[in-house]
Structure 1
Amino acid sequence: MQSLVISIMGKDKPGLVDALAKCVYKHQGNWQGSSFAHMAGMFTGFVEVHVADEQKQPLIDALDAITDLSVQAVAVSNGEPTNTTKLTVDVMGNDKTGIVQELTSVLNQFNLNILTFTSHCESAPNWGSLIFKAKAEIAVPENFDDGALQDALEALANDLVVDITAKR
């Protein structure tokens, strides 16, 4: 079995995920997991599929033939599981230009791997401005000092609220 990670992007319309799922099914692929999102009129996401070696290229060719959808498939090897701890980092504060760069820079300074990252802005009616919210799942080595990470993130701005919890 070959593991493929398939990324897709296209103008949002009904049936995009169904077209992808039918294509995977037709080539005896086993849908392992996926994440999709709608943003600014576009639909994007990725899927991990296990497929027999002899079906890999036919599946990739069939995916490339889906109209109105940009598709990229990358074969990946099944790596060894790592013994890292996962933490969830929730951040909330006033929105400002560069906030994502500042957050990711701190994570990089601690040499941490971002596994998932989501963010959005929402209206803060009482303040008349936008509130930035982000959630990241990060891999950290055993015995990692999450207090030092929290201090470094909170030092970015006096209004930044940071909550770090162990992922179970």
Structure 2
Amino acid sequence: MQSLVISIMGKDKPGLVDSLAKCVYKHQGNWQGSSFAHMVSMFTGFVEVHVDEDEKQNLIDALDGITDLSVQSVAVASSTDAHATTLTVDVMGNDKTGIVQELTSVLNQFNLNILTFASHCESAPNWGSLIFKAKAEIGVPEDFDDDALQGALEALANDLVVDITAKR
């Protein structure tokens, strides 16, 4: 079996994921996992599929033929890159330009790998401004100092609330 990572993007409308799923099924692909999102009338996401080596190119060609979607696929070797420890980092504070860059810069300074990252802004009740919220899952070494990371993130702004939860 060959692992294939498929990314998609297109103007959102009903049936996009179904078109992708039918294509994968038709070529005997096994849908391993996926993540999709809707943002500003666009639909995007990615899927990991396992497919027999002799069906891989047929599946790739069929994916390229799906209308209404921009599709890219990359064959990858199976990964056993499981982190012994992951941290979930929840961040909330007043929205400002550059906040994502500041957060990711701190994570990079600690040489941490971002496994997932999701963020959004929402109206702050009674304040009339936007609140920034982010959630990241990061892979860390077993002996990582969570407190040092929390301190570095909280030092970015006096209104930033950071909650770190370890999954060992």
What interval of TM-score do these two structures reach, taking the shorter chain for normalisation? over 0.9
Partner of 2:62: 62
Distance 2:153 2:56 in 1: 43
CA gap 1:87/1:75 in 2 versus in 1, 3 angstroms? same
The letter of the residue matching 2:135 is K
Q: CA deviation at 1:79?
A: 2.3
Query: Which stretch shifts more, 20-29 or 76-85?
Result: 76-85
Distance 1:77 1:152 in 2: 35
Partner of 1:96: 96
Q: How many residues align?
A: 168
Residues 103-118 of structure 1 correspond to what in structure 2 (within 5 A)? 103-118=103-118
Distance 2:113 2:143 in 1: 16
Q: CA deviation at 1:39?
A: 0.1
Distance 2:26 2:82 in 1: 33
Q: CA deviation at 1:127?
A: 1.1
Query: Which stretch shifts more, 119-128 or 105-114?
Result: 119-128
* Percent identical: 86
Residue 127 (str. 1) matches residue 122 (str. 2): no
Distance 1:157 1:81 in 2: 34
Distance 2:25 2:83 in 1: 33
CA gap 1:96/1:83 in 2 versus in 1, 3 angstroms? closer
Distance 1:26 1:87 in 2: 38
Partner of 1:13: 13
The letter of the residue matching 1:49 is V
Which consecutive residues of structure 1, in runs of 5 or more, have no partner in the other structure?
none
Q: Give the RMSD, CA atoms, in angstroms.
A: 0.9
| Alignment TM-score, normalising by the size of structure 2 | 0.98
Q: CA deviation at 1:80?
A: 2.8
Residue 167 (str. 1) matches residue 167 (str. 2): yes
The letter of the residue matching 1:37 is A
Alpha carbons 2:83, 2:139 under 8 Å: kept: no
Q: Deviations over 1:124-143 (max 9, x none)?
A: 02111000000000000011
| Alignment TM-score, normalising by the size of structure 1 | 0.98
Which stretches of structure 1, 4 residues or more, deviate above 3 A after TM superposition?
A: none
